[in-house]
Structure 1
Amino acid sequence: MSKNKVIVLAVLEGGMSKTETARRYGVSRQWVHELLRRHAEAGEAGLSPRSRRPRRSPQATSPAIRDRVLALRQRLAAEGLDAGAETIASHLELEGCRPPASSTIHRILRQAGTVTPEPHKRPRSSLRRFEAHQPNETWQSDFTHWALADGTDTEILNFLDDHSRYLLHCTAHRRVTGPIVVNAFLDAGSEHGLPASTLTDNGMVYTTRLAGGKGGRNAFETLIASLGITQKNGHPGHPQTQGKIERFHQTLKKWLAGQPRAHTLDGLNDQLAKFRQIYNHERPHRALNRRTPATAYNAAPKAAPKLAIQGDHWRTRTDRVDADGKVSLRYAGRLRHLGIGRLHKHKRVILLGHEEHVLTIEHGTGEVLAEFTINPDRGYQKKQNTPGPKTGGVNDVPTHP
């Protein structure tokens, strides 16, 4: 027999007063009154122990927030975007709602059955992160495969800023070749300034260092060295060195899988342009304290390569050498003719300019053909030096004052 029942029987059948009963059984007089009230309303069932949980909790997550959490989870997952608790909290905050704790959001998702347990997954706290201290300190690059609707394989080339995860370049091609890598790098540099270093794997479009010394530098290596940019390559068989861009490829493919499969290369590139906008400007990143890559990229001063061809004053254009071995450009209001040499006639070239300094680089090979410091008093400009094929290293190109 429970103590509560004994107390009630002592009063109702034993004739004891409420005060005496409370003293004998070591409870308060108010508790005796409460037990008698429960017995009168529900009989012996009313004497069973009840939960001490409060009838209402002011801090409890409202049904509206719970519904919005689940709706965001469904929408983000359908779009192929990260749909974790922290990302959902960021979206709630952007919508003007005060989000609950990430642990609360995770509990809501788990109770709704939208979380797949991964008990053997390595905890994030065990990972050692390496990150550049400034934007443009290191650019990572790699390409990955993606199939069109008819099964045709394509390759998507990416350049990613190591510090901010900002997606600098993202385009699809039938095959990524050396000239494509060079042009993509120059396009990204023209838009964002040149990096102090690059980090890639050992693919032949990036380096020939594992080719047994045959053929010398490739186009990308020659260009990087000529611009005074440090080139870094990961160890063979150790993709963790380029972990950020490897992880980025997972994010990209997850998003693409949530879109209608593109039928053409142009259609895929349209999708990639849309993804780049979402990834850089709309999607908060866990590793950036829930900031977007664009916010992180623009929040700190940018690093620069050893040669001062950098920033807003740096410009690039393509041209073709004429039959006399010259190309023309406008400087200080006058047309200047750069004498590259008849040996290079009809070649397509890239002109990289910083104030009065101009480098001419062969389009598609990255070979530096000539360097000029424009004399404003002359129309015809003689080249200062000719680095020569496969030798355009940083030590071969004098640093400008």
Structure 2
Amino acid sequence: MILSTVYAVTRRLLSLPALLLRRDVSKDAELLVLRHENTVLRRHVPRMHYEPADRLWFAALAHLIPRHRWAQVFPMTPATLLAWHRKLVAKKWDHSQRRRPGRPPTASAVKAVVLRVAAENPGWGHRRIHGELTRLGHKMAASTVWNILNRAGINPAPRRTGPTWKQFLQAQAEHIVAVDFLHVDTINLKRIYALVMLEHGTRRAHLLGVTAHPTGPWTTQAARNFLMNTDRNTENRKFLIRDRAGQFTDAFDAVFADTGLRVLKSPPQAPKANAHCERFIGTLRRELLDRTLILNERHLHRTLTRYLEHYNEYRPHRALNQLCPSQAEAGPPRPIDLAERRVQRTAVLGGLINQYQIAS
């Protein structure tokens, strides 16, 4: 009874301002409801947990409400609200996460250039490389160049090893010839050996001989026969690369030394030291020997001779800009329009290999 009377009186008191200010009464009533709801929630939840977005919203609205009203409006103390605002301001002007301490890192493209220059010039130290980059217009400290080389495991220039076999072969290609043996098993499982030579500069290949018993005297005589029968100019040749097989004797080296060639022995079990000749032998096997059956020495000699004619006169090489050795020596062919010409095919070695040429 008493509670009902209090409620009736309270409602009549609240209805009086509603009559006077009808436009704002609805908004003010809503605010009173929300405030009372906050009071009830505070009684049930002693400590509220706010997300960063909640703190941002409260801190932003605090500028629109007088400070003396904060205790009645906000569900936290004014000190907490001010602390949140200070954190927002500090975070706005905090650039520590946007940059790394110390010097800026060197671009990966610049590191690649430094390592490339060091690889192409084994005799250059970090000071020489730094000078080259400075000459090109890129400014960086010499210590940065040293750090790049050190992290890549590249020793200082005075303690670096000499040029690799790959660098040596590329630099001296036009002055190098190489020889090596390859073996072929006949149809009756008899093993035959062939001695071949490759000119690095022109990629022209030669057959020095075929035998079932490659002894030292036979190898020496094969070298003599080749030099007597060949019309190739050997004045530009300076080096002959061979492995350490027992068939290559001192007499064999002397035959080529008389023509001005210096014999270089490749390290044991190092095919990269004679990489071009090894690759030529691989080409022989892929394109010829793995696709045909050999009967005897005479058959192998005839087959290799015919293939080497194709290899020197018709087969293109990427190292020669897709020209064959004979074209590389005489000059590239005159450009033509294949739409106006007829291409003729010629079968070699019973159709095992095809050659193409412009029909006359």
TM-score using structure 1 length: 0.37
Greater relative CO, 1 or 2 (CA 8 Å, sep 6+): 1
Higher strand share: 1
TM-score using structure 2 length: 0.41
Structure with the greater alpha carbon radius of gyration: 2
Higher helix share: 2
